[in-house]
Amino acid sequence: MHEPYRIKVVEPLPRVARRKRKDVLRAVAYNPFHIPAKYVTIDLVSDSGTGAMTARQWAAMIEAREDFAGQKSFEAFVERTQRLTGFPFIQPVHQGRSAENILFKLLLKPGDIVLANAHFETTRGNIEALHCRAVDLPSEHPPFLGNIDIDKLNEKMRELKRVKLVILTLTNNIKGGQPVSLKNIAQTRSIARKYNINLVLDASRFADNAYLIKEIEKSRMSVAAICKRMFRSADILYFSNKKDGLVNIGGCIGVRSRQLYDRLTYEVLRQEAYPTSGGLAARDVAAMTLGMEDAMNENFLRTHIGGIRYLAAILKENRVEVFEPVGGHAVAVIPKSGHRYFSFALASQVFLETGIRGGVFEEYYRLAVPRRVYTREQLRHVGESVSKAYSSDLPRLRLINRPREFFNFFARFTTV
């Protein structure tokens, strides 16, 4: 299956001398997140906010009218997202982590506990900033490796007194986007109901999750219908629209309670902007409206996820060990044992030799593929380049700065 679009605008890739990349690596202390993008030839550090938009989205951005309140693009976005999710109240915000910050401030008190299949770093960061505890309960059973472990969830609910929320992250980001099944979402909902707590979906990669459910379960339902089923079980949901939402900036929150929605709007006014803008320009909201719809195009999802599998297949052919089953938005390379800071060393070596940038998430070297940006030929080049670096002698790194939080983003190294 070929890509269901053609390319209208192109951007030349930066070409940088190896000597320069060597200096850059030293200057950024071997942390790929700190490399200035102008030195990066192919950038797979994140799929977030890095996708290409359609001509229709760009046209809608030009057409959008900028007003302080009551923007037309807000109405269209709310109406479209209500239809997509079945949620009566929708509030745009400027990105996923501001949704987290606003929601958790309203829902949590110091000492509360949040259980999840896995908390993304910013989700955990926002919970811990409120002096609350974030506990991961991932399932170990393929093919739905994004599931929450239901037995452990039951056990924790019985054991812990202060559980306030259960979050399911769809898909679970860390290992490249592992899916959560409809059954797991429904079971989690029943448990949350039993204990009278809210089930929250971090639905940033909702379309990938629905596509993977369709594929694994050989479902005849459309991706849009599966999304509706996923959302039906939740009390609250939020999105970073920078992922499956196919925009460069934006996020939103959906709630079912009028009372919570009202409190949300006060909080948005306090920290984002007037609620009908949600901290975004009207043009960004207009792009989000179309992105939500494009996200569920099954031909697009097939080719996007197909591209990730293609990259993984090249790596595997060359005996690079990757996390399997391969997820929805990235390939996670498993570190070789016995090499301290292997993923940072591999990221450094790949960048030094080729200008390709991958990221480090947990212990993995992660290649996240921006949507509608790179061709298969470029992904083949990435696969071959990473394979070559993987089998070479990697630099030995020594930690020179251990950050208090967000280790992978802020750690600094020197070579031994």
Ligand X SMILES: Cc1ncc(COP(=O)(O)O)c(C=O)c1O
Q: Does 178 bind ligand X (CB under 6 A)?
A: no
Q: Does 51 bind ligand X (CB under 6 A)?
A: no
250 to 289: interface string for ligand X, x by CB under 6 A: -x--------------------------------------
> Which CB sits closer to ligand X, 251 or 358?
251
Kindly state the DSSP code that residue 408 receives in the 8-state scheme: H
Q: Does 342 bind ligand X (CB under 6 A)?
A: no
Q: Does 48 bind ligand X (CB under 6 A)?
A: yes
Q: Does 117 bind ligand X (CB under 6 A)?
A: no
Which segment (94-102, 154-162, 213-221, 286-294) binds ligand X by CB under 6 A? 94-102
Query: Of 6, 101, 30, which Cα lies nearest the Cα of 341?
Result: 30
* Footprint of ligand X on 195-254 (CB under 6 A): 202, 204, 240, 242, 251
Q: What is the dihedral of CA 228, 231, 235, 236, to 10 degrees?
A: -120
Identify whether the C-beta of residue 137 lies closer than 8 Å to the C-beta of residue 117.
yes
Q: Does 328 bind ligand X (CB under 6 A)?
A: no
Identify whether the C-beta of residue 35 lies closer than 8 Å to the C-beta of residue 356.
no
Least separation in angstroms between residue 181's CB and ligand X is: 17
The helices-and-strands tally (H runs, E runs) of the chain is 15, 13
Per rule CB under 6 A, count of chain residues that contact ligand X:
14
Q: Does 96 bind ligand X (CB under 6 A)?
A: yes
Whole-angstrom distance, CA of residue 384 vs CA of residue 101: 40
Q: Which residues contact 210 (CB under 8 A, 6 or more apart)?
A: 223, 224, 226, 227, 230, 296
> Which CB sits closer to ligand X, 103 or 163?
103
Identify whether the C-beta of residue 175 lies closer than 8 Å to the C-beta of residue 367.
no
> Which CB sits closer to ligand X, 43 or 389?
43
Q: Does 95 bind ligand X (CB under 6 A)?
A: yes
> Residue with the closest Cβ to ligand X?
96
* Footprint of ligand X on 118-177 (CB under 6 A): 120, 122-123, 169, 173
> Which CB sits closer to ligand X, 31 or 101?
101
> Which CB sits closer to ligand X, 25 or 170?
170
Inter-axis angle of helices 282-294 and 55-63, to 10 degrees? 150
User: What is the chain's length?
Assistant: 416
DSSP 114-131: EEES---HHHHHHHHTTT
Least separation in angstroms between residue 102's CB and ligand X is: 12
Query: Of 240, 249, 147, 159, which Cα lies nearest the Cα of 195?
Result: 159
Whole-angstrom distance, CA of residue 203 vs CA of residue 95: 12
> Which CB sits closer to ligand X, 169 or 277?
169
Least separation in angstroms between residue 267's CB and ligand X is: 16
Q: Given the rule CB under 6 A, which residues bind ligand X? A: 48, 95-97, 120, 122-123, 169, 173, 202, 204, 240, 242, 251
